[in-house]
Structure 1
């Protein structure tokens, strides 16, 4: 068996203590299909000294949850891992730029469809109040540009005040009602090839699709019309050699697909819904070894 490393949350951050071990177990079960074992190690432990990671033939950042809580430390780590020559996939450079959602604006400039977006540094209540007219929206969503798991993401109607507002660079988008009726769709790619498709829906009265907010996930037999086209256009615009990618999208008011996220750092692969328990993920990892 070949041993690789998987970066995990900081032990001092209890936010994910009840969740990440189960995700790690699914990853380990999938990797075992390719004769690979995965040793967990907290990502903050390797920021100042990356030497312990250089001995692994491959390091996966798939459980580096919590990086958004200390983004400066994360960026320092990305630089350190690149300088030390850690065999990290996806690459440290990708882990850096993908941690700030402003990358969506750069993809939009290359023709990838995203929701109309206002980019604001430290949004004030006045910024929020003006956003409804600027976007022509009845409801808006305010989220930090560096975030994860819908952290500090707000859904607001006119006249509502921000609570727990993002303190730094943020983005404001129209709320998409299709999230409630059709949900969000994720296309999972391993080694550049589509593996599986998952539809994620919030519980009634909620707009966040994450499982911690009660979201439900359903495997789809194939992408809906137009979804694969947007995903492939996104990957082409990214132009990186990626081991894995999760492309999240939702339908806009006109029925067209809009990119919500290109998750290239630590996405949940929903391996419980993947063909053969994640065999394509395991094969992609083995091909890099």
Structure 2
């Protein structure tokens, strides 16, 4: 029988205890349609030694939550998996570079539109003040380049002190007011094919769209411009991708821009998928058959 491993959080990280088992059960139900047996294993058990992953036909890092809080260990793990040539999908090299949001700058150099972004080794009050002056933004977002789920993300107004600034490399962007009015739209692709899209809006008064902050989710049909931008992003990525979630929002001129290309452990929003995960199952099946 085909064997699939799903990488899960560090067992010592209590913050995910009540959430990841539910996600795993949804994924299992989808993956078992391929006839495979699914085993959960913490990603932190395979950092220095890949032998514990021998024998799997496919290794999915799709619940490897918490890597952003242990980034150095994550990078060592990706190097270990790459050297061992494990059947990780997405590829371990993608898992490495996609864990640091500076990849957005590299995609921008290839013509992918992103919000104006200042990259810095350490965010300072002077940089925030200068960004307000240079961009004319009414609000700014400051967050670490290694983050997930709005981790240590700040929304600042002019004159507001930069307290609790992210430690280390950070990014400073104008806050897009469309997040409050239109939200962010995620386009899901499996095996390079579009599957479904989900719009995510924050609750009134907040800017965080994640479910743990009360984000409101609904299935939508993306317009042609959004779909074209998502496909442009995928075309700019050289490595083969089993799955991708492309997160887009409109800038203040009404144009779609890339917010994130989530290629490690994105929520697929299978509960909002009209096909109930059939596209993901088909992509996994094709990968296993290939």
TM-score (norm 2): 0.97
Q: Once the 2 structures are TM-superposed, how far is the Cα of residue 22 of structure 1 from its aligned partner?
A: 1.1
Give the equivalent residue in structure 2 for 1:235. Answer: 234
CA distance in 1, matches of 2:246, 2:143: 18
Asked if 1:191 is matched to 2:205, the reply is no
Distance apart, 1:216 and its partner CA: 1.2
Q: Does 1:277 align with 2:284?
A: no
Which SS does the other structure have where 1:116 is aligned? coil
Q: Which residue of 2 is the match for residue 43 of structure 1?
A: 43
Distance across 2 between alignment mates of 1:74 and 1:135: 35
Aligned-residue offset at 1:48: 1.4
Give the gaps of 5 or more residues in structure 1.
Answer: none
Structure 1 equivalent of residue 87 of structure 2: 87
Q: CA deviation at 1:121?
A: 0.8
Runs of 4+ in 1 over 6 A off after TM superposition: none
Deviation at 1:32, TM superposition (A): 1.8
1:226 aligns with 2:197: no
Q: Count residues with an aligned counterpart.
A: 288
Give how far 1:127 is off. Answer: 1.5
Gaps of 5+ in 2: none
| Offset, 1:85 | 1.6
- Post-superposition CA distance 1:115-134 (Å, at most 9, x none): 00000111112211221012
Distance 2:69 2:183 in 1: 27
d(CA) in 1 for partners of 2:202, 2:224: 22
1: CA distance between counterparts of 2:33 and 2:114? 37
The 2-side partners of 1:14 and 1:128 are apart by 34
The 5 A counterparts of 1:16-165 are 16-165=16-165
Q: Which residue of 1 aligns with 2:250?
A: 251
Residues 68, 99 of structure 1: 8 Å contact kept? yes
Deviation at 1:239, TM superposition (A): 2.2
Q: Secondary structure at the residue paired with 1:187?
A: strand
Q: In terms of mean alpha carbon deviation, does 49-58 or 264-273 score higher?
A: 49-58
1:212 is displaced (CA, Å) by 0.4
Judge conservation of contact 1:30–1:279 (CA < 8 Å) in 2: yes
Could you say what secondary structure the match of 1:285 adopts?
helix
**Is residue 54–residue 85 contact of structure 1 (8 Å, CA) maintained in 2?**
no
**Cα distance in 1, alignment partners of residues 4 and 263 from structure 2:** 19
Q: 1:266, CA displacement in angstroms?
A: 0.4
3-state SS in 2 of match to 1:152: coil
CA distance in 2, matches of 1:225, 1:84: 41
TM-score by length of 1: 0.98
Residues 75-132 of structure 1, C-alpha deviation per residue, up to 9 Å, x if partnerless? 0000001111211000000000000000000100111010000001111122112210
2:3–2:55 Cα contact (<8 Å) kept? no
